[in-house]
Amino acid sequence: MLNAWADGYVSEIAYTHGFYRELAPTLLAFAALAANHSSPDPARPLTYCELGCGQGITTNLLAASNPHIQFYANDFNPSHIAGARALADEAGCGNVHFLDSSFAEMADRTDLPEFDIIVLHGIYSWISPENRQAIVRFIARRLKVGGLVYISYNTLPGWAAFLPLRQLLVDNAVDTAMPLTTRIDQSLKAAEALQQANARYFLLNPGAADRLKTIVSQQRAYIAHEYFNRESTPYYHTDLVDELSAAKLTWIAPARPLEAIDSLNFTEAQLALLGGVQQRSRREGLKDFILNQQFRRDLFVKGPLPLHAPQGDAMWAQTLFILTVPATSLGELKIITPLGQLTLATDVYRPVIDRLAQGPLTAGDLHAALPQLLFAQICQALIILVAQGYAHPCIRPEQAAAIRPHTDRFNQAVMARARFSGDIGYLASPLTGTGLAMDQMTQMLLSAHLAAGTADPVASVWMHMQSCKQRFVRDGQMLMDDQDNLTELRHRYDALLKDAWPVLKALQIV
């Protein structure tokens, strides 16, 4: 079924319920700071807009954990907006406005404020040129001077090898009389058959064969929106920079600061080549060739203000960080970068982690406590710990009291939903202004643990699981034996109390 309003975009299957942490105002500001650029201060009463919000999980969670910010979000799929509004109601989010509007309608609306932050994740490469122009018009009209834009997009040259695969999948699915899920299944089977028949496209593009294997294992809702729209336009970084300059945007940094630490991403020979290119967007484009980049998340500003070194250092010195995993879970630290697996220097990371384990500290506090480390080493360690999901920028614990009622209500709404759906895998923290991942079963155990009068949370959740015929899956196999399920549940409850509880407490989620 083709909806006239959908303009070639998939609308008969609703999108997945993702939360994207890079969109958090605290993390956006951190990424700008890491690139030595000023950006809207997330502690201030900002205005924030997410274009194409899908199910609205990200915007709702951020609204709950940043009640001083006014959030707006649009999507032209009314099912998405209905679901997003329902969650906002259940969670009592009074600072969020979900708009059933297309990008073209957003560009023409006169009832919206000017925004400090505009974000669009998973949009720009998947829509028509006219819709991209509408987005540029919207940003030109609605972004404040000094405002920040986050944008993600499929990137060339990395995506080039997948364009024929996408075409194949779409061509295999032209019979619009069948439901899209059936067409997707048939289309994937046809592509697999072609691969098994040793089609040279797959032989000479092993990346495409790998991707097909990945696609087959992905959720149908994700596949539909990723590959089955009428449009698919990967971008060279430089072309995107040119296109967005029409809205007076200047590129400032990748949204993941780790990607900007050249020594972690490039060999000596590659660094020498990059050093020969002065123009920033060309240099960034060259990096995409070196890495065969397939996907980028970039930050742009309308009127960039680079921070002078002392200003930047002063901001770093005042930025608080908190550990978001148990310190005991962090042994020898390894990270995967384009250079392979790197082991992080224990004499730098161990003391930073041990100090943060005692409670939130600023980079300045850490430097005062660890004079053997250079300030730059501490800042780089923090970038890496944040990138790995081990730490996060935060506010002072005493400031979180005013936010706590909002996140508590959101978390109660999420945990209530966990009884019938595993869609929302995150709880909100008033301290970090973002989400912490937690699976459905752990959410149910936590909810039962917090409920007064539940004698044994494991027994209570097991009863619920039995009533809905729910079972755990291990190594791709459903556990059929009751005792195996109970053991798994007990194991998860123990882990919740022993490992997760101190972190949940520190993040003021409980």
Ligand X SMILES: C[S@@+](CC[C@H](N)C(=O)[O-])C[C@H]1O[C@@H](n2cnc3c(N)ncnc32)[C@H](O)[C@@H]1O
Footprint on this chain of ligand X (rule: CB under 6 A):
7, 9, 15, 18, 20, 52-54, 74-77, 80, 102-103, 121-123, 126-127, 131, 225
Which is nearer to ligand X, 80 or 355 (by Cβ)? 80
Which is nearer to ligand X, 49 or 381 (by Cβ)? 49
Which DSSP letter does residue 295 get? E
Q: How far is the CB of 82 from ligand X (least distance, A)?
A: 12
Which is nearer to ligand X, 225 or 492 (by Cβ)? 225
Q: How far is the CB of 122 from ligand X (least distance, A)?
A: 4
Q: How far is the CB of 16 from ligand X (least distance, A)?
A: 7
Q: How far is the CB of 340 from ligand X (least distance, A)?
A: 30
Q: How far is the CB of 14 from ligand X (least distance, A)?
A: 8
Which is nearer to ligand X, 9 or 493 (by Cβ)? 9
Q: Are 257 and 387 in contact (CB under 8 A)?
A: yes
Which is nearer to ligand X, 127 or 448 (by Cβ)? 127
Q: How far is the CB of 257 from ligand X (least distance, A)?
A: 21
- Three-class SS of residue 427? strand
CA 259, 261, 265, 269 dihedral sign is: positive
Q: How far is the CB of 341 from ligand X (least distance, A)?
A: 29
Which is nearer to ligand X, 150 or 390 (by Cβ)? 150
Which is nearer to ligand X, 139 or 330 (by Cβ)? 139
* The token pair that represents 499 in the structure block: 């490992």
Q: Tell me the residue type at 256.
A: R
Virtual CA dihedral for 454, 459, 462, 464, nearest 10 degrees? -40
Q: Tell me the residue type at 396.
A: R
Alpha helices per DSSP H over 172-323: 180-196, 200-204, 206-216, 220-227, 237-244, 262-265, 268-275, 280-291, 309-318
Q: Which burial class, exposed, middle or buried, applies to 133 when counting CB atoms under 10 A from its CB (0-12, 13-18, 19+)?
A: middle
Q: How far apart are CA 194 and CA 449, in angstroms?
A: 52
Q: Are 172 and 187 in contact (CB under 8 A)?
A: yes
Q: How far apart are CA 496 and CA 480, in angstroms?
A: 23
Q: How far is the CB of 505 from ligand X (least distance, A)?
A: 30
CA 258, 264, 267, 269 dihedral sign is: positive
From residue 315, alpha-carbon distances to 310, 419, 439 in Å are: 9, 43, 35
Cis peptide before 360 (omega within 30 of 0): no
Q: How far is the CB of 57 from ligand X (least distance, A)?
A: 7
* Closest among 436, 439, 433 to 326, alpha carbons compared: 436
> Pairing relation of β-strands 70-74 and 96-99?
parallel
Q: How far is the CB of 2 from ligand X (least distance, A)?
A: 14
Which is nearer to ligand X, 87 or 504 (by Cβ)? 87
Which is nearer to ligand X, 18 or 338 (by Cβ)? 18
Which is nearer to ligand X, 102 or 319 (by Cβ)? 102
Q: How far is the CB of 369 from ligand X (least distance, A)?
A: 39
Output the CA angle 300-301-303, nearest 5 degrees: 145
* The token pair that represents 436 in the structure block: 């912490």
Give the contacts of 190 (CB within 8 A, at least 6 positions apart). Answer: 168, 172
Which is nearer to ligand X, 97 or 449 (by Cβ)? 97
Tokens 């484009």 correspond to what residue?
Answer: 285
